[in-house]
Structure 1
Amino acid sequence: MTDRPMPSEHASASEPAPETGSVPAGGPEPEPTDRPTADAWAALGGPAELLARVGFHGPQDVLPSGLPVRRLARATVAACSLAAAELAAYRAGGSVPAVRVDEGAVATAFVSERHLTVGGRAPVTFAPHSGFWRAADGWVRTHANYPHHRARLLAALDLDPEAGPEQLAAVLGKLPAEQVQERAYAAGALAVAVAPVSATVHPLVESRDSGIATARPLGAAPVDRPAAGVRVLDLTRVIAGPVATRTLALLGADVLRIDSPRLPEADDAHADTGFGKRSTCLDLAEPGDRAVFEGLLATADVVVTAYRPGALDAHGLAPDALLARRPDLIVAQLCAWGWSGPWSGRRGFDSLVQAGVGIAAHEAGPDGHPGVLPAQALDHGTGYLIAAAVLRALTDQRTRRPGGRHLRFSLAGTASWLLHGIELDAPAEARHGAEPYDPSRWLAETDSAYGRLRHALPPIGYEGGPADWARPPGRWGTDAPAWH
């Protein structure tokens, strides 16, 4: 493998980052630039000289895997921290703060949904109908955490709506994996055949400038809130997108999540990713709600979407339509399977992408049972990359290139980088001075509308940066549809 990213598609890509950095006189001794961090930063169009500000500390024996998950995780958080520090320097004046990423905080945050407790209760991460199942000729992975997905899966397989996991297993065991996959796809359900490692390469980031409009001025802001006053419309669901907007809220942005009242969110999922944000419901097919949405959009700075490609187009919310109306807007899009190819329009989640691109096969056990990464790293890593790209775009609009931005990410792109773009970690015994990992150091408790929450602390780390969110999650869908 080569330690390089999948190429980003950007109108003005940065020069490759140097292997070593330098710091101003009187600063800490320079250390070798972390290559995955440098590659992610270059893909985001970041100035290479700022990489000298980045360092790491904390436990290193974290996120163990046959793939370089630890390196991906810390690189995405480092790139996001550096983007926040860059914007902080612009808005507060002075030099870019030093970035110090704690690898224990990163590892804990990458499994935030597993550390979450709500009133002392641990949520169920995967429903009984979700998981790996033997097919007639291999394995298939299903995702049926939401009731409507479970109903579609059972209907696709001609099973009773009340059929249990045992009945599902019996049917799946008689069918070829790809037949299950295609029947599920046709029914709007979610099932993917476990495949060998894919040679298909997707970009880590795709970015294009749009228009020449001047972005709304941003005044001074404190170092720990570099995105203060930035208005973000959050049209995302299920980990990656919500992690991105949760991170922007951490950094001071006014984030308003908007959902359809016909598509409820699981309380536990919102309790994990709703920190710092507000949440409201609007039906875009209803004229009154649509008028409210248009009023919010008129003064938004950023729109983040994570619905299946094309799903929002019928509502006039395709990126080109948004940028035609608002040429100064930053539009960040996320999809599962990449923006080109026969699967580009399909639904997907982290677990399914792991199965479809070969990660599950790569991580299989001795008995051949497919394996998983130690975290939903495609989700979390992509979430921090999206937040980083938005922060960089906010800075870039005001210092180098005015105009709107269209940013595209995919779970498959992050998977490509993990599989083909990052070298494996050194063996744990080869790392010197590593401290033991105890996740309790990076957990906190707070009261919320859902009850007492135990939650992971944010991993973003730069000098003067925020240590926690300003507010716990409120009840899903109960906030007023208005900016602060």
Structure 2
Amino acid sequence: MQNRFIPQIATALGLSEAPDIQVIGAESLPSYFAVSELASASIEMAASMIAKWRPLETGTGGQINIDQRLASKWFDMTIRPQGWDLPSIWDPLAGDYQTRDGWIRLHTNAPHHRKAALSVLGDYETRDDLAMAVRDCNADDLESSIVSANGCAAAMRSITDWQNHPQGKSIAAEPLIAWQRHAKTSVTPKQIDPTRPLRGIRVLDLTRVLAGPVAGRFLAAYGADVLRIDPPGWDEGAVIPEVTLGKRCAGLDLRATEDRKVFEDLVASTDILLHGYRPDALPDLGYDAKTLRAINPAPIDVTLSAYGWTGPWAKRRGFDSLVQMSCGIADWGMQHAKASNPVPLPVQALDHATGYLMAASAVRALILRQTIGEVTSARHSLARTAHMLCQTATPDLVGEIAAEHLADIDPHIEETSWGPARRIAFPVAIEGVSHHWDHPAGTLHRHDPCW
């Protein structure tokens, strides 16, 4: 049976036909949604773009094989520490809370988001005490108050409620990938190494947890020079060993004059700009699209937002777990599992799928720039990916995947900043193409901000 997502993604990428890819295995994560099918499809399409980029040099492509079991596992934590432990990925106060009329999820992993939530609810230190305060609140009102305080929260809605919500209607009208074509420009064609197709491609990664970093990690696997830039003091805790694989990680303060000069020099010579700032964040720092194109007229701009690019929530902060609450995924799982609390997806599939779609659109844009000189931008959103996934909702829990075994783990030892580690074996094999990461995972701000 053909993967249901492939035709939609191929159309979104502007392809005339879906690629011929061999999928190995049929194991899938148990879910009320086609999560493993989405994992396989999004990774397939990113791989297919690598396979289409490579023939610009060789004239021929290569067979692509995708292991669906491993693809499912790459939608979760892939790192397996050897002799050390990862900390929890969640702040103690983060999670789902019952209100007097429903449920709400608070996202408090970032200190400023935690501070914003507590500025509304009160300065509670334990989850039990906070739960008592939340129980007296109306879910929608509390969501609005926390968002107004620059925090992150999402009341749980049903799929039907979301479809009737102004933001849900806006998302349904948006394309899966929103392309913008810019004036053609003269760019020196890139020399393509057939075995490491993205060698020499510079990627400026301004993204945070989790979709954007997934895109950069995938591009790095095929040789791209991915430079991640973070602001002072930023930390992502347990996910850093996951999202820094293959990247150099530097820090800049875009409010400081000298750092702005360094940033502009990086922009001037980048090929791909990945960013996940809310729509007004970079413009507020003085870097709107017009300014960035004045610095460099030819970069490929690939960006994402949580709740889309149109509608009343277009500028709202959000994360995968919040979007799952807003769009009805967690409610659907709760209702059909007959559970007493929200039931999300088994993995943060919106983040991961959107990340691979970002990688696919970045390479698709490289192909257009290389072949016809057209410079393009691509916009993605977690909510639009969720809209596609929600079409597969089923009342029955479907899927089964065997426990992890030794064959799932790549034998390579990765010397991370925290100690040795191994990874889940990569799910992609492209004939004639090598995938590996030139840099092990490591702490943020550890490299100089230069190419």
TM-score strictly above 0.5: yes
Distance 1:245 1:232 in 2: 8
Alignment of 1:313-352 (within 5 A): 313-352=283-322
SS in 2 for 1:208: strand
**Structure 2 residue runs without a partner (length 5+):** none
Q: Is the 8 A contact 1:267 1:476 kept in 2?
A: no
Cα 1:427–1:355 change in 2 (3 A) is closer
Cα 1:195–1:423 change in 2 (3 A) is closer
Distance 1:34 1:172 in 2: 42
Note the alpha carbon deviations across 1:4-31, whole angstroms, 9 max, x for none: xxxxxxxxxxxxxxxxxxxxxxxxxxxx
1:379 partnered with 2:348: no
Decide which of 86, 98, 112 is 2:52's aligned counterpart. Answer: 86
Decide which of 390, 393, 404 is 2:362's aligned counterpart. Answer: 390
Distance 1:251 1:319 in 2: 28
Residue 28 of structure 1 corresponds to none
Distance 2:383 2:101 in 1: 25
Residue 38 of structure 2 corresponds to 72
The one-letter amino acid of 2:151's match is: A
Distance 1:116 1:240 in 2: 20
1:220 partnered with 2:185: no
Decide which of 423, 427, 431 is 1:455's aligned counterpart. Answer: 423
The one-letter amino acid of 2:325's match is: A
1:239 partnered with 2:204: no
Q: Is the 8 A contact 1:458 1:468 kept in 2?
A: no
Q: Is the 8 A contact 1:378 1:415 kept in 2?
A: yes
SS in 2 for 1:110: coil
Residue 126 of structure 1 corresponds to 90
Decide which of 227, 252, 267 is 1:282's aligned counterpart. Answer: 252
SS in 1 for 2:5: helix
Residue 111 of structure 1 corresponds to 76
Residue 383 of structure 2 corresponds to 412
Note the alpha carbon deviations across 1:340-381, whole angstroms, 9 max, x for none: 011110000000000001111011131342111011000000
SS in 2 for 1:275: coil
Q: Is the 8 A contact 2:30 2:398 kept in 1?
A: no
User: Quick check: 405-414 or 364-373, which moved more?
Assistant: 364-373
SS in 2 for 1:382: helix
Q: Number of paired residues?
A: 437
Residue 17 of structure 1 corresponds to none
Question: What is the Cα-based RMSD across aligned positions, in Å?
Answer: 2.2
SS in 2 for 1:148: helix
Decide which of 40, 52, 55 is 2:22's aligned counterpart. Answer: 55
Q: Quote how far apart the aligned CAs of 1:437 are.
A: 5.9
Q: Is the 8 A contact 2:66 2:428 kept in 1?
A: yes
Alignment of 1:96-245 (within 5 A): 96-112=61-77, 116-117=80-81, 119-157=83-121, 159-160=122-123, 163-197=125-159, 198-199=162-163, 200=168, 201=172, 202-223=174-195, 225-245=196-216
Distance 1:208 1:269 in 2: 32
**Structure 1 residue runs without a partner (length 5+):** 1-31
**Percentage of identical aligned residues:** 34
The one-letter amino acid of 2:279's match is: P
Q: Is the 8 A contact 1:319 1:331 kept in 2?
A: no
Cα 1:367–1:424 change in 2 (3 A) is closer
Q: Quote how far apart the aligned CAs of 1:423 are.
A: 7.6
Distance 2:236 2:396 in 1: 39
Q: Quote how far apart the aligned CAs of 1:440 are.
A: 4.0
Q: Is the 8 A contact 1:338 1:409 kept in 2?
A: yes
Cα 1:291–1:325 change in 2 (3 A) is closer
Q: Quote how far apart the aligned CAs of 1:54 are.
A: 1.0
SS in 2 for 1:340: coil
The one-letter amino acid of 1:124's match is: S
Distance 2:37 2:414 in 1: 30
Q: Is the 8 A contact 2:204 2:272 kept in 1?
A: yes
Cα 1:321–1:63 change in 2 (3 A) is farther
Q: Quote how far apart the aligned CAs of 1:55 are.
A: 1.6
SS in 1 for 2:97: strand
Note the alpha carbon deviations across 1:251-310, whole angstroms, 9 max, x for none: 111110011114x12342221110110010111111111111111111111101011221
User: Quick check: 144-153 or 175-184, which moved more?
Assistant: 144-153
Note the alpha carbon deviations across 1:72-96, whole angstroms, 9 max, x for none: 11100110010011112223x0311
Q: Is the 8 A contact 1:327 1:403 kept in 2?
A: no
Residue 478 of structure 1 corresponds to 446
Cα 1:320–1:71 change in 2 (3 A) is farther
Residue 34 of structure 1 corresponds to 3
Q: Is the 8 A contact 2:198 2:224 kept in 1?
A: yes
SS in 2 for 1:76: helix
The one-letter amino acid of 1:121's match is: D
State the TM-score, normalizing by the size of structure 2.
Answer: 0.91
State the TM-score, normalizing by the size of structure 1.
Answer: 0.85
